[in-house]
A = this chain, B = another copy of it.
Amino acid sequence: MAARSYGQYCGVTNAVELIGERWAMLIVRDLLVGPRRYTDLKRGLPRIPTNILSSRLRELQEGGVLRRVPLHNCGLVYELTPYGRALEPILLALGRWGFQTMGDPHEGDVVTADSLTMALRTSFQAERAADLDLELHVGDVALRVIVRSGALHVAQLAPAGPPGVAGPPSGEPEAIVVAGPGIRRLIGGEATPAEAVAQDHVAVVRGDERILDRFARTFHIAPLPLLGP
């Protein structure tokens, strides 16, 4: 038997053998946002060693989770197969689960464009969504977030995002929102928009501050009733 096999004939075990290795889930998370080059993935996962990234991409390809696609001009991108895309609801649920106990960031923790994009998808409340068009800045990341007729669209703006994946959104956003990691409190319902602004977790640098009410209603992760004991 393969030395490092779990040795069980079971669906969960097979899943974990496909995507349970270190970094694999985070690679899938980033690819759920869209196809990515090797270099994009490396930038989106700053602490991954390049040999591990190589190995994981090969293993995920062999497992049928992703494939390499040569680009017509030059280079290549990695993209999820339909089987890999079927992980989306699982990754979203895992993101909601992990959100509950995130606490404050550790020193050196970063927020990447892809992780913030997935966090927005994770917390998106299609039922209660209000129409919305804003620019969201967290650290170095800048996103254009548009909600229209119950659908969420996120585009990554120039600095440190693969450009041109979706064309530049048209028109001006209603507001520009600058936030820190404390935006978690707003999404988690720990803080009201007014409190989040008062405590400097979020600032509206252009536009009407009341957009935060719609934001908080649209992006929300309800706390679990019991987190202990």
Contacts and interface: CB of A to CB of B under 8 A. Distances in A.
A227 B82 CA distance: 6
B25 A16 contact: yes
B64 A228 contact: yes
Interface string A111-140: 110011011001000000000000000000
B64 A14 contact: no
A106 B2 contact: yes
A205 interface: no
B115 A10 contact: yes
Contacts of A167: none
Nearest to A139: B9
Given A47-B7, A101-B64, A229-B67, A12 B83 contact: no
A83 B29 contact: no
A81 B45 CA distance: 31
Given A12-B94, A64-B101, A90-B93, 11 more contacts: A8-B45, A8-B115, A9-B105, A10-B95, A10-B116, A11-B96, A11-B119, A12-B118, A15-B97, A20-B22, A86-B97
A18 to B, nearest CB: 7
A108 to B, nearest CB: 4
